[in-house]
Structure 1
Amino acid sequence: MSTGTQTMATDTRSVVLEWTRAMDRHDPDAFTTFMDENCVFTNTGTGERLVGREAVRQDLIGLLERWTDLRIEVVNLLVAGDSYAKEWVMTGVHTGDLPGLPATGRPFRILGAGVGRLRDGKIFEVTEYWNLADFLGQVGAIPPLG
C-alpha cells in the first residue's frame, strides 16, 4: 500500500529488509515505524532487553552516536510466515565512548544474526546474536580473538 511517496511493506521479507535499510540510512524514525508499539528487542551482545518502540528508537540513536559510518548488509534472510531469521554483517567506526571504553577511532566488522516475529505487519519480537568480545578485540579494548 502506498502513502504519499512512502510505500509500506506488507510481507515479512519486505518488512525486514526495509527495516534494515532504515537502520543502514541512519534513520531512527523510519526504523521504528516497522516496529510494533510494544515490541521486545533483545541484544545478546550487550545483554540489553528493550521494551517498546521508543526504547528501541533511543537505543539506535545512541548506537549511531557511538558507531559512525555504521552499515549493515543482509547476507541471508529466511522467512516462514510471520517469522524470520537474518544473517548480517555490520561495519562501522568506534567514535563514541561506551561505558568503561573511550572511543578508539578503530573500524570494526561484526558478524551476527537475528530472529524475529511480526504481528499485524510490524516487528514484534527480535533477538540479535553477535559476539561482543569480537567487537572489543577489533577496537583494541582486549586482545583480538583468534
Structure 2
Amino acid sequence: MPANVKNLIESYYAAFNAGQPQAMLDLLSRDVVHDINQGKREIGKDAFAAFLDHMNISYRERLTDIVVMPAADGTRAAAEFIVHGAYLRTDPGLPEAHGQNYVLPAGAFFEIRDGLITRVTNYYNLENWLNQVGAK
C-alpha cells in the first residue's frame, strides 16, 4: 500500500506542476481537510478548488526536488520540496506584488483513505518568503 500512496502524492504534485487543478481535485476526497500554512482550516473539495483558483491568480509556482515519504500503513505521507515561484498579484494582507521571484523550501503532510487524499497540511517559512518578496 505505501507504493500506492507514494504514487498518489506524486500524481498530486505532477498535476500541480502541470497546471492541472482538476487533476489535483480528482485525487481528493469530497470532505478533504486543508490546513493552509499559518492560516485557517478549510473543509471540502469546493473550498480547495476556490483556494487553487486564488493561488493561480496571485502566484505562479513550480515544485522541484520532491521527496514523498509514505507511512508503512499507507494512511499518511509527508513530502518535502522546493517551491520556485513568482508573486503576480497582491494577496490581501501581504506585501504588494511586483512579479517578485522566490525559492522556498516547503513540506506537506497528507492523510489518505480509500485511495484518496483526505487531508493536506502545508508548511513553509513565511518570514523567509516575506524577506524574498521585499517585505522586510
Tell me the TM-score normalised to structure 2 length. 0.89
Aligned length: 131
Is 1:136 aligned to 2:130, yes or no? yes
- 8 Å Cα contact 1:74-1:86 kept in structure 2: no
Which residue is equivalent to 2:53? 61
Is 1:71 aligned to 2:62, yes or no? yes
The Cα shift of 1:104 comes to 2.1
| Counterpart residue type for residue 6 of structure 2 | R
RMSD in angstroms over aligned alpha carbons? 1.4
Is 1:42 aligned to 2:35, yes or no? yes
Is 1:18 aligned to 2:11, yes or no? yes
- Determine which structure has greater relative contact order: mean sequence separation of CA pairs < 8 Å that are 6+ residues apart, divided by chain length: 2
| Counterpart residue type for residue 77 of structure 2 | Y
Counterpart CA distance in 2 for 1:17 and 1:118 is: 13
Which residue is equivalent to 1:5? none
Structure whose CA Rg is larger: 1
Counterpart CA distance in 1 for 2:24 and 2:96 is: 27
The Cα shift of 1:83 comes to 1.1
Q: Residue 123 of structure 1: which of 67, 92, 117 is its match?
A: 117
Tell me the TM-score normalised to structure 1 length. 0.84
Q: Secondary structure in 1 aligned to 2:97?
A: coil
Is 1:86 aligned to 2:97, yes or no? no
Which residue is equivalent to 1:52? 44
Q: Secondary structure in 1 aligned to 2:118?
A: strand
Which residue is equivalent to 1:7? none
In structure 1, runs of 5+ residues without a counterpart are 1-9
Q: 1:96 to 1:25 in 2, by over 3 A?
A: same
Q: Secondary structure in 1 aligned to 2:131?
A: helix
Q: Secondary structure in 1 aligned to 2:86?
A: strand
The Cα shift of 1:48 comes to 2.5
Would you identify which runs of 4 or more consecutive aligned residues in structure 1 move more than 3 Å? none
